[in-house]
Structure 1
């Protein structure tokens, strides 16, 4: 049947209307270079995105290597700076090797897809990051999604598989609630059933472990031959980009097989230089990791959150998406920027304010946070 004059995008109006009625319509908000409000929404956990050493590192790399990587790392996009940073980051977290990607998202896509494929079982926690969910979808492997933190369900999926190979996927620190994955128990299940474990340390690096080396390092799994770590440079290290860390054989395989590495332009030198400088600050100032958790505990107390945070994330569940959105707007009107997580970022009925602690918060800033958050939450 010929459909003359049919608008192929007319359905978008209906979708937008449904989202608006459910309180789930999103919009972009610009921010100035230096915000007047107190920022409790960003993932700049260590407060390094504006640190002088980090800025200098980015500027020096820009002047030395230029504005862009100029090509895939397999063509012209690989520099001494990329490889030096990879060596230093791997040494810091206790991994044998590292490979930098253009983002944390592409690092997860590259690692999961290249290390799985047809004939593989992927077992993924129900609350893993969207990049890991998308990686599973692209992998062409059989995927089993297990209830959040349910080690027994993971073990059962591994035990009942017909596939020769299996990979268990989890965040180390989950981004919405800030809770920790049971890495030790998951690894024991992987060992019993011959499975690889891929752990996304995006929210663990810089916050958990000795001096911010991550949760894998904290639980004694750094450098394990059957563990691959992914992370982003856009949170604790205040820059941009992603990394896969693990055995040298994994790095070599990803260079050969990871499509987001092969076909994407290499990470811009300025981002690498900034991240490298941020790593240097973290090494020189290991107190920053502990300070994040101290400030997270104080924010939880202010918001009457019962459980002491185990990461930089403090989640204040309000339930209704419109209530959460209004509370976030009220905070911003009073000078405090907080995150607002609504479905599909979180399950229905759990819309929330998502606060993030920073190592660099001052006593005066914490006093402002206490005044504003107390007033806004008392009015809900």
Structure 2
């Protein structure tokens, strides 16, 4: 069997400036990193609160390994559910104001597991057009009637809900959209979903830690509870600085996931030491509100400076600050030119974003300084000024 067809497709992808390649990170996450042997300033990580290399988390990981070992050893339902996992689930439930929480190994697995445990071919799922791939994949694989409503458009959702006679109606949205940085209109989405007798599921991967007085994400930001958002998903590898994910909700929801979520049932549990470290991370997320305050200061500084330079920013109040470029080739050019200046920013291209909307996805961390932001703006002025 020949792979010539695959080679041809890969060549076409390169020619269209859509080829992806891995980079070798040779340092811990932080504002200054070493990539492929080159030291530079990073604006491309989801380590929003600067916790991925925090001394307290590193020590907690070491302590967790000493206490619980390294590997989970089995699935949660066999013999892999340690007291570290259980304590973290209880802490996450208390923090989110919900009766229960359930750990998953990744955010992708949490979304796939939750959607497919809740709905099947008798049901309907409604998703924002800009939802993360894991949410879209979960909906498609569920076998439910799949519909996508216009981005953050409550009227579009309401019209689709009114036309269905499905047994169950599951509305799924990101809390903060990962490529645009904007926030879903959760109060309005919740209202129309409840009126239609449906359930609202929110993946707040990029909201947790960054929004709300205690970092409780979009639901805390809007003052919503379990009645408004019955299925709440969060990841731990972004603002928390560790790894894994969780679903928080009612007793009935979590027990249903334990019984039916295949991505929970049929996989080895996360290393218990990671869960132990995340307990320390959760305390920092809750208590150190200065990290969120600093993020807001950095975001305001960047937006003012980039707008003054003539760049087209997207409507985002979050640490995700995309610069809309347009063509994939131009986004790649600017990204490479910035790297030559010692600044790492990823060029996001189709199919991750629609054709003609390639962008530089600038992300900020509480570990950045104002001087770092000014260096970025200076570099953008030199190499990335919009062409007339």
Q: TM-score range by the shorter chain?
A: over 0.9
> Taking structure 2 as the reference length, what is the TM-score of the superposition?
0.93
Spell out the pairing of 1:300-315 with structure 2 (5 A cutoff).
Answer: 300-304=303-307, 305=312, 309-315=316-322
1:94 touches 1:217 (CA, 8 Å); kept in 2?
no
1:167 touches 1:195 (CA, 8 Å); kept in 2?
yes
**Which whole-Å CA distance do the structure 2 matches of 1:324 and 1:264 have between them?**
38
Where 1:143 maps in the other structure, the secondary structure is strand
Spell out the pairing of 1:134-173 with structure 2 (5 A cutoff).
Answer: 134-173=137-176
Corresponding residue number in structure 2 for 1:207: 210
Where 2:240 maps in the other structure, the secondary structure is coil
**Which whole-Å CA distance do the structure 2 matches of 1:95 and 1:289 have between them?**
23
Corresponding residue number in structure 2 for 1:77: 80
2:211 touches 2:217 (CA, 8 Å); kept in 1?
yes
**Which whole-Å CA distance do the structure 2 matches of 1:28 and 1:236 have between them?**
22
Corresponding residue number in structure 1 for 2:332: 325
Moved more, 280-289 or 217-226: 217-226
1:176 touches 1:313 (CA, 8 Å); kept in 2?
yes
**Which whole-Å CA distance do the structure 2 matches of 1:212 and 1:170 have between them?**
19
Corresponding residue number in structure 2 for 1:3: none
Corresponding residue number in structure 2 for 1:243: 246
1:197 touches 1:228 (CA, 8 Å); kept in 2?
yes
Corresponding residue number in structure 1 for 2:219: 216
**1:114-170 C-alpha deviation (Å, 9 max, x unpaired):** 011121110001000000011011101111111111111111111111112100000
Corresponding residue number in structure 1 for 2:370: 363
**Which whole-Å CA distance do the structure 1 matches of 2:66 and 2:80 have between them?**
16
- Report the alpha carbon displacement of residue 225 of structure 1 after superposing the two structures with TM: 6.6
Computed over aligned residues only, the root mean square deviation of the Cα atoms, in angstroms, reads: 1.5
1:39 touches 1:336 (CA, 8 Å); kept in 2?
yes
**Which whole-Å CA distance do the structure 2 matches of 1:76 and 1:372 have between them?**
53
- Report the alpha carbon displacement of residue 366 of structure 1 after superposing the two structures with TM: 2.4
2:291 touches 2:366 (CA, 8 Å); kept in 1?
yes
Moved more, 304-313 or 57-66: 304-313
**Which whole-Å CA distance do the structure 2 matches of 1:354 and 1:306 have between them?**
10
- The gaps in structure 2 that reach 5 residues or longer are 34-38
1:221 touches 1:227 (CA, 8 Å); kept in 2?
no
Corresponding residue number in structure 1 for 2:36: none
- Number of equivalences: 374
1:297 touches 1:309 (CA, 8 Å); kept in 2?
no
Q: 1:307 to 1:259 in 2, by over 3 A?
A: closer
Spell out the pairing of 1:86-97 with structure 2 (5 A cutoff).
Answer: 86-97=89-100
Where 1:370 maps in the other structure, the secondary structure is helix
Corresponding residue number in structure 2 for 1:191: 194
1:296 touches 1:356 (CA, 8 Å); kept in 2?
no
Corresponding residue number in structure 2 for 1:272: 275
- Report the alpha carbon displacement of residue 306 of structure 1 after superposing the two structures with TM: 5.2
- Report the alpha carbon displacement of residue 39 of structure 1 after superposing the two structures with TM: 1.2
Q: 1:308 to 1:317 in 2, by over 3 A?
A: closer
Moved more, 337-346 or 296-305: 296-305
Spell out the pairing of 1:314-353 with structure 2 (5 A cutoff).
Answer: 314-353=321-360
Corresponding residue number in structure 2 for 1:59: 62
1:318 touches 1:350 (CA, 8 Å); kept in 2?
yes
Q: 1:266 to 1:378 in 2, by over 3 A?
A: same
1:299 touches 1:357 (CA, 8 Å); kept in 2?
no
1:302 touches 1:374 (CA, 8 Å); kept in 2?
no
